[in-house]
Homo-oligomer: A and B are copies of this chain.
Amino acid sequence: MTRPKSPVRLEWVDPAVCSTDYRLKIIGRLPFFKHLPPAAISKINNLFHDVDVPADERIYHEGDEAAYLHLVAMGKVKLVRNAESGREVLLDILHGGDYFGSFSTLSGRAHTETAIAQTDSCILRISSRDFDGILADHPDVTRKVLDAVSRRLTESQEIVKQLSAYTVEQRIASALMRLASKLGESRGEGVLIQLPFSRQDLAAMTGSTTETVSRVMSRFADEGWVKTGRKWVTILDMKKLEELISKPYR
């Protein structure tokens, strides 16, 4: 049996997406801002600057001065921390509408993680100073931001739990499900995840290695739960993966 050809069709990142016209639409749709009147959104829009970033390029590096808040307008961005040992830890994968970077000049001077474009991306950024101004002008925006950060904290704590108490197999199943619900696309036969992301990325998400991830994915494929290829995965049987996680492992 021959391996399935790649079903990956990446979204075409039109440079025009970052034009002033489109930006207004994107910013106006963000959870932080969408409740604001058009006049306010337009004013906020003027504070943002756009940057086109090709795939695999660093947007900022751990330790860099944290001068901007960033928004993903188009494309995918991964947040990474590098351990002294050289091992790379993947903290999160972001897509359209997600924020990253620092919120304020107060909360810290340096970025604590590295941001890398996973695909060609269009990033909007605003200086921390200007964003502070928005927060001061719009208390309700501050509330929404607080909610967003709280949610991300909860997610991070869930990862801590998984790294502490799950087997690699369970962590991989869990990571697949998270990615599917966040970035997956429903296809006839299942949910396609086409970030694109490699075994390497999945290993960095689960505190494991490429080889082990590859082995586990082969097992999943043999069971008929997933179909995999180069930098993509289709989940065929979500329920089985879920069972794997909830199963008390002794």
Residues of A within 8 A of B (CB): 81, 83-87, 89, 91, 102-104, 106-108, 112-113, 135-136, 139, 142-143, 145-147, 149-154, 156-166, 204, 206-207, 245-250
Known: A142-B139, A150-B149. A160 touches B103 (CB 8 A): no
For A86, A143, A158, A166, the residue with the greatest tally of chain B CB atoms inside 10 Å of its CB is A143
Instruction: Establish whether residues B151 and A153, one from each chain, have CB atoms under 8 Å apart when the complex forms.
Output: no
Instruction: Establish whether residues B154 and A87, one from each chain, have CB atoms under 8 Å apart when the complex forms.
Output: no
Instruction: Establish whether residues A159 and B158, one from each chain, have CB atoms under 8 Å apart when the complex forms.
Output: no
Known A84-B246, A91-B160, A164-B204; further 18 A-B contacts with Cβ < 8 A: A81-B157, A81-B158, A81-B160, A83-B161, A83-B166, A85-B165, A85-B166, A91-B157, A112-B157, A135-B139, A135-B146, A145-B146, A152-B153, A156-B160, A160-B160, A160-B163, A163-B163, A163-B207
Q: How far is the CA of A166 from the CA of B156 in the complex (A)?
A: 18
Which chain B residue has the least Cβ–Cβ distance from A80? B161
Q: Which of B147, B153, B207 contacts A153 (CB 8 A)?
A: B153
For A102, A150, A156, the residue with the greatest tally of chain B CB atoms inside 10 Å of its CB is A150
Known: A85-B248, A245-B84, A246-B84. A112 touches B154 (CB 8 A): yes
